[in-house]
Structure 1
Amino acid sequence: MTANLGPLDWITAAETSAVLDALEAAGGADCARFVGGCVRNALIGRPISDVDIATTLTPVEVTKAIEAAGLRAVPTGIEHGTVTAIANHQPFEITTLRRDVETDGRRAVVAFTADWMEDAQRRDFTLNALYARRDGSIFDPTGHGVADALAGRIVFVGDAETRLREDYLRSLRFFRFMAWYGREAPDAAAVAAITRLKDPVASLAAERISAELLKLLAADDPRGAVALMASTGVMAVVLPEVVSRTRFEALVEVERGPLPGAEPVLRLAALLPDEPALGRRCAERLRLSNAERDRIEAALDPSHPLSPAMTSHQVRQALYALGAQAFIDRAKLLWAQSGGEGWDRLIEQAAGWNPPALPVNGADAMAAGLPKGPLVGAALKQVETWWIAQDFPADRDETLSVLHEVARELTSR
Structure 2
Amino acid sequence: MKLPGAEWQKRKGLERLLAALDAAAGETRFVGGSVRDGLLGLPVSDIDLATRLGPEAVMERLQGAHIKAVPTGIAHGTVTAVLADGPVEITTLRRDVSTDGRRATIAYTDDWREDAARRDFTINALSADPLTGEVHDYFGGAEDLEARRVRFIGDPLTRIAEDHLRILRFFRFHARFGRGAPDAAALEACTARANDLMALSRERIADELLKILALPDPMETVTLMTRHGIFAPVLPEIADAAPLARLLERERASGSRPDGLRRLAALLPADATLATSVAARLRLSRKATKRLATLAERAANDISEPKMLAYRIGTEEACDRLLLSEAGPAAIASAVRALRDWSLPVFPLSGGDLIAMGIKPGPAVARTLQAIERAWMAQGFPTGGDAVRSLARDIVGQALRESQ
Matched, 1:64 2:60: yes
Number of residue pairs aligned between Structure 1 and Structure 2: 401
Matched, 1:20 2:18: yes
Q: Structure 1: which 5+ residue stretches go unaligned?
A: none
Matched, 1:217 2:208: no
Distance 1:304 1:363, change over 3 A: farther
Q: Which one of 288, 291, 297 corresponds to residue 287 of structure 2?
A: 291
Distance 1:407 1:98, change over 3 A: same
Q: Which one of 136, 139, 159 corresponds to residue 139 of structure 1?
A: 136
Deviation at 1:376, TM superposition (A): 1.3
Residue of structure 2 equivalent to 1:98: 94
Distance 1:243 1:189, change over 3 A: closer
Q: Distance in 1 between matches of 2:220 and 2:387?
A: 57
Residue of structure 1 equivalent to 2:177: 181
User: Is the contact between residue 10 and residue 16 of structure 1 (CA under 8 Å) also seen in structure 2?
Assistant: no
Q: Distance in 2 between matches of 1:223 and 1:91?
A: 33
Map 1:214-363 to 2 at 5 A: 214-256=210-252, 258-259=254-255, 261-303=257-299, 305-307=301-303, 310=304, 314-334=305-325, 337=326, 339=328, 341-363=330-352
User: Is the contact between residue 43 and residue 150 of structure 1 (CA under 8 Å) also seen in structure 2?
Assistant: no
Deviation at 1:51, TM superposition (A): 0.4
Q: Distance in 1 between matches of 2:88 and 2:329?
A: 48
Matched, 1:365 2:354: yes
Q: Structure 2: which 5+ residue stretches go unaligned?
A: none
Q: Distance in 2 between matches of 1:338 and 1:388?
A: 23
Cα deviation code 1:276-310 (max 9, x no counterpart):
11112112211222222222211221346234xx4
Cα deviation code 1:221-267 (max 9, x no counterpart):
11121122123321112321113211112222333455253221111
User: Is the contact between residue 254 and residue 332 of structure 2 (CA under 8 Å) also seen in structure 1?
Assistant: no
Q: Distance in 2 between matches of 1:340 and 1:78?
A: 51
User: Is the contact between residue 360 and residue 400 of structure 1 (CA under 8 Å) also seen in structure 2?
Assistant: no
Deviation at 1:79, TM superposition (A): 1.9
Map 1:189-208 to 2 at 5 A: 189-208=185-204
Q: Which one of 378, 395, 398 corresponds to residue 389 of structure 1?
A: 378
User: Is the contact between residue 280 and residue 296 of structure 1 (CA under 8 Å) also seen in structure 2?
Assistant: yes
User: Is the contact between residue 4 and residue 38 of structure 2 (CA under 8 Å) also seen in structure 1?
Assistant: no
User: Is the contact between residue 99 and residue 113 of structure 1 (CA under 8 Å) also seen in structure 2?
Assistant: yes
Residue of structure 1 equivalent to 2:34: 38
Amino acid at match of 2:19: D
Q: Distance in 2 between matches of 1:315 and 1:103?
A: 52
Tell me the secondary structure at the aligned position of residue 306 of structure 1.
helix
User: Is the contact between residue 21 and residue 61 of structure 2 (CA under 8 Å) also seen in structure 1?
Assistant: yes
Cα deviation code 1:32-56 (max 9, x no counterpart):
1000000000001111110000011
User: How big is the alpha-carbon RMSD for the aligned residues of Structure 1 and Structure 2?
Assistant: 1.8
Q: Distance in 1 between matches of 2:254 and 2:361?
A: 51
Amino acid at match of 1:322: I
Q: TM-score, normalised by structure 1?
A: 0.92
Deviation at 1:320, TM superposition (A): 2.1
User: Is the contact between residue 360 and residue 396 of structure 1 (CA under 8 Å) also seen in structure 2?
Assistant: no
User: Is the contact between residue 220 and residue 256 of structure 1 (CA under 8 Å) also seen in structure 2?
Assistant: no
Q: Distance in 1 between matches of 2:15 and 2:142?
A: 25
User: Is the contact between residue 376 and residue 391 of structure 2 (CA under 8 Å) also seen in structure 1?
Assistant: no
Deviation at 1:106, TM superposition (A): 0.6
Q: TM-score, normalised by structure 2?
A: 0.94
Residue of structure 2 equivalent to 1:129: 125
